[in-house]
Structure 1
Amino acid sequence: MPPAAIRSEPSIVRRFGWPLAGAMLVAQLALAGCTTGSGVDRATTGSVGKPMTAADFQQAVSYWGGRYAKDPANKQNALNYAAALRRVGNTDQAVAVLQKAAIRFSTDREVLAAYGKALAANGQFEQALDAVRRAQTPDQPDWRLLSAEGAILDQLGQSNDARALYQKALAIQPNDPTVLSNLGISYVLTSQLPDAEKVLRVAVAQPGADSRVRQNLALVVGLQGRFAEAQQIARTELSPQQAEENIAYLQAMLARQKQGTQPTRTTSQPMPAIQNAG
């Protein structure tokens, strides 16, 4: 039985390096086990299944990679292969696959949207913005693309414009947890942690809120120094050891930030990443 089609991950995920002096260091870290592709995914039918493991994603890469090799002109092969590649961290390869698809399907909204999200995940924000905007239809805007565009603008430091897009998306799709999560992280990036927590608590209470949304809440709680509470939230998504390691890393980072130095990360501690869901 072939693996389920991997939904193109809606989050705009970027692995951050250490920011320049004066930037909000702690706002750029999340409590996620990034090397394992953590987070609940759903099949394209929208049914809720068990969380997919790293082995599941590798199986999907092999399966869809084989399908793509046999028929690279098939749109679904390209989309599913690229989505699987992104889930195992091969964003460069995912971008290359979708770049070819975008040339072949130059007016296809689904392909352009996936291409834009892959570019953003790879840190190519200006190109991502162009692709997402080309996929959008102003007369009938897609709320998912509005949210994706907002997440890209947040990464470019345009928080006011980003939040305006999130509000437009929420007007179309009220209380969507992924859009609310993006809005919450937008507040994190401008050091407005109480506002971020308020929005993210609304997000996690919504039907359909997934692992990424709860991880973002754990991030915000931890950034405010409430480590025990953050660890409790993180443990609902990660193993106790992973949760403890991530909280310990966050605590060390906050302490080192005060000293103007960087925490030492062990090989078992993945460099966290912001996960803007939506």
Structure 2
Amino acid sequence: MLALATGLGLMLGGCAATGDITGSLGSGSTAAQSQTDWRQRADSLAERYRRDPGNAEVAIEYSRALRASGQRAQAAAVLQQAALRNPKNPKVAGAYGRALADNGQYNEALEALSRAHSPDQPDWRILNVQGAVLDQMGRNAEAKGAYQQALAINPEEPTVLSNLGLSYMLSKDLTQAEAVLRRASAQAGADARVRQNLALVVGLQGRFEDAEQIVSKDLPPAEAQANVAYLREMLSQPNSWKQIGDAAAPAKAKQKTTATARRAPARSENRSLTAELRGTADQPEH
């Protein structure tokens, strides 16, 4: 799937992103264990990559493991070389575009993604990634167009609907954002991250009890209450919408911690209500 976790990283629990674009619900120890596993996977693939750097499949898997273990610059470098060796391989171009987006190199990501599919053979997964990148660049109207194209190919896909809903949120059209996110959450493939996004948009409209009910489907009651309380506090601060817009830029969000975030409730240290654009992580083949 994809997140946006470096997508729209608006952390409502005051904890750091787990490092992948999709975002996740889980304890810090679970995330740490997962990253350890990915580092071991990267180590096991490193030798295979060194022996055969032109092997596209090995390069893609090696880069994926590097990204998941937090080595994003190295992941992009591996795929840069793979793209040079396999200039006509759309899977390499798609993986390279995702890695560049993950690394905050949005213009370069769009260029690579344009080589991952063609107008006569569009791929909804790539369109979803392109939309997520465009949203992170503040080009929300173009992003919505990409999501609509993706939905024309794969109607009611929850990851695309979730991104489209967040794109409306970034445009401050909360009514439309909620409608789209409710469609997303109603799909069989919707997961906790989709419901998190819906809860955020509901909370942004001041309906905190409704937001808490949505979050409680995936979080213990005390943590759900703490997250929604934090959202209420954030919205009471000046320039709260600016904070939301700033959160769409992952690098900026990581470099800057607001005073409000530093005051986040201690109960939220392990889990957080998160809004994540989902598109830059690797999508499963169907």
- TM-score bucket (shorter structure): 0.7 to 0.9
Q: Name the Cα RMSD after superposition.
A: 3.1
What is the alpha-carbon distance in structure 1 between the residues aligned to residue 125 and residue 7 of structure 2? 22
**Is 159-168 or 28-37 further displaced after alignment?**
28-37
What is the alpha-carbon distance in structure 2 between the residues aligned to residue 271 and residue 86 of structure 1? 22
Per the alignment, residue 252 of structure 1 pairs with 233
Per the alignment, residue 4 of structure 1 pairs with none
Which residues of structure 2 form unaligned runs of 5+?
243-257, 280-286
Q: Which amino acid aligns with 1:113?
A: G
Per the alignment, residue 73 of structure 2 pairs with 92
Report the TM-score when normalising by structure 1. 0.76
Change (3 A) 1:175 1:15: closer
What is the alpha-carbon distance in structure 2 between the residues aligned to residue 236 and residue 82 of structure 1? 34
Report the TM-score when normalising by structure 2. 0.74
RCO greater where, 1 or 2, for CA within 8 Å and sep 6 or more? 2
1:81-230 correspondence to structure 2 within 5 Å:
81-230=62-211
Per the alignment, residue 18 of structure 2 pairs with 35
After TM superposition, give the deviation of residue 209 of structure 1 in Å: 1.3
Per the alignment, residue 254 of structure 2 pairs with none
What is the alpha-carbon distance in structure 1 between the residues aligned to residue 229 and residue 67 of structure 2? 28
Q: Which amino acid aligns with 1:60?
A: W
In the alignment, structure 1 residue 63 sits paired with structure 2 residue 31? no
Per the alignment, residue 2 of structure 2 pairs with 10
Q: Deviations over 1:104-131 (max 9, x none)?
A: 3222111211111122122211111111
Q: How many residues align?
A: 248
Change (3 A) 1:85 1:139: same
Change (3 A) 1:164 1:15: closer
Change (3 A) 1:245 1:131: farther
**Is 181-190 or 258-267 further displaced after alignment?**
258-267
Change (3 A) 1:158 1:130: same
After TM superposition, give the deviation of residue 148 of structure 1 in Å: 1.3
Change (3 A) 1:199 1:69: same
Per the alignment, residue 248 of structure 2 pairs with none
Q: Deviations over 1:6-50 (max 9, x none)?
A: xxx53344367xxxxxxxxxxx6255762376538xxxxxxxxxx
Q: Percent identical across equivalent pairs?
A: 45
What is the alpha-carbon distance in structure 2 between the residues aligned to residue 239 and residue 96 of structure 1? 41
